[in-house]
Copies of this chain bind each other. A is one copy, B any other.
Amino acid sequence: MSVTIYDVAKKANVSMATVSRVINGNTNVKPITRQKVLDAIEELGFRPNAVARGLASRKTTSVGVIIPDVANLFIADLARGIEDIATMYKYHIILSSSDQQKTKEIDLFYNMLEKQVDGIIFMGTTITDEHIEAFKKANIPVILAATIAESEELASVNIDYYQAIQDAIQFIEEKSKGDIGFVTSPLNNRSNEIRKQSFVDAMKKSGKSDAELEKLIFNSDDTYDSGIQASHYFLGLEEKPETILVSSDELALGVIHGLQDEGLKVPEDIAVVGFDNTRLATMVRPTLTTVMQPMYDIGAVSMRLLTKLLQGEQVEEKQVTLPHRIIERDSTK
């Protein structure tokens, strides 16, 4: 069938151990021997069987990546960041989508353990005790990417969502004294919950009553269409907000278009601020002012952190917080 290390050894008149040394770049091989082996490999078209290697060495050089959904620009950037760094460190990626379902998240996690991945990067919704139990049981490093866990033992890479919303509100208030509406993404996601809480806290601080506050919040499901619905909701209000702060860019496009479809002008009539800074933010008119969440970097840093953990490098801080910032474009005055 296919050519093995043993065939190479025979052809090169050496032992399989020597062949193994050569393919693993072990230095203790005489140059002449090495060349002999290399020639035999070349001639036979030998390619090491990664499965056998994985079994023998207990390392697969693959890492599992669990994300909510591939078909999401925002998450794709994360994936790209992970992949670029993984390639750099010669790791392979086994990628699966959980569709935001908790049971699937956990199933996938165990499946990846069965595959003997060397580590896992996990992006999910809310981290439950069940998640934590699974993570602990795994004897491999797990990194949470753009995913909040209360537990301080878990390695993670995030931005400060609470502060990001505070900053966005401050930014908005510097430009306009009017009300701010808020469109949430689904609250089964901890980071969305935090954003909402941040908004609530800020509004209360400026003296809004619970009743007022409630009207200013629209709970969406994080799709373009629900962005459109959100815009309708706000337009139906007696006291319309002057600015709408939206939990994601895709949602924000929906809001903008929803407003425009009703004949309003953005930002003259109502300003809109997004969140994420995906490519979408510049693919709309007016271009979208948004809170940049560096997804590519979150992916890249997560993967880099994982490689450090995997290679036993010193890691000073397992919980990384990356900077965010407001990117001002034309959807605000």
Binding site for B on A (CB under 8 A): 2, 45, 47-52, 54-55, 60, 62, 69-73, 76-77, 79-80, 83, 87, 92-97, 110-111, 113-116, 137, 139, 224, 250, 253-254, 257, 260-261, 279-280, 282-285
CA gap between A116 and B282 in the complex, in Å: 42
**A2 partner residues in chain B, CB cutoff 8 A:** 139
**A70 partner residues in chain B, CB cutoff 8 A:** 70, 76, 79-80, 83
**A111 partner residues in chain B, CB cutoff 8 A:** 92
Q: Can you name 21 A-B residue pairings with CB atoms under 8 Å?
A: A47-B110, A47-B113, A48-B114, A49-B116, A50-B116, A51-B51, A51-B55, A51-B60, A62-B94, A70-B76, A71-B76, A71-B77, A72-B76, A92-B96, A94-B94, A250-B283, A254-B283, A257-B283, A261-B285, A283-B283, A285-B285
**A137 partner residues in chain B, CB cutoff 8 A:** 45
Copies in the complex: 2
- Give A63 Cβ to nearest chain B Cβ, in Å: 11
Quick one: given A71-B77, A115-B51, A139-B2, are A93 and B96 in contact (CB under 8 Å)? yes
Minimum-distance CB pairs A-B, first 9: A71-B76, A50-B114, A95-B95, A51-B54, A71-B80, A51-B116, A50-B115, A70-B79, A51-B55
CA gap between A311 and B52 in the complex, in Å: 23
Closest to A92 in B: B94
| Residue in A111, A139, A279 with the greatest tally of chain B CB atoms within 10 Å | A279
Q: Are A49 and B94 within 8 A (Cβ)?
A: no
**A260 partner residues in chain B, CB cutoff 8 A:** 285
Quick one: given A76-B72, A93-B95, A283-B253, are A52 and B49 in contact (CB under 8 Å)? no
State which of B62, B83, B282, B284 has its C-beta within 8 Å of the C-beta of A284. Answer: B284
Q: A70-B79, A95-B95, A224-B283 are in contact. List 7 more A-B contacts (CB 8 A).
A: A50-B114, A51-B55, A51-B60, A69-B80, A92-B111, A257-B283, A283-B284
CA gap between A54 and B115 in the complex, in Å: 9
- Give A117 Cβ to nearest chain B Cβ, in Å: 10
**A47 partner residues in chain B, CB cutoff 8 A:** 110, 113-114
Q: Are A279 and B224 within 8 A (Cβ)?
A: yes
Closest to A90 in B: B111
CA gap between A97 and B86 in the complex, in Å: 11
Q: Are A114 and B283 within 8 A (Cβ)?
A: no
Closest to A110 in B: B47
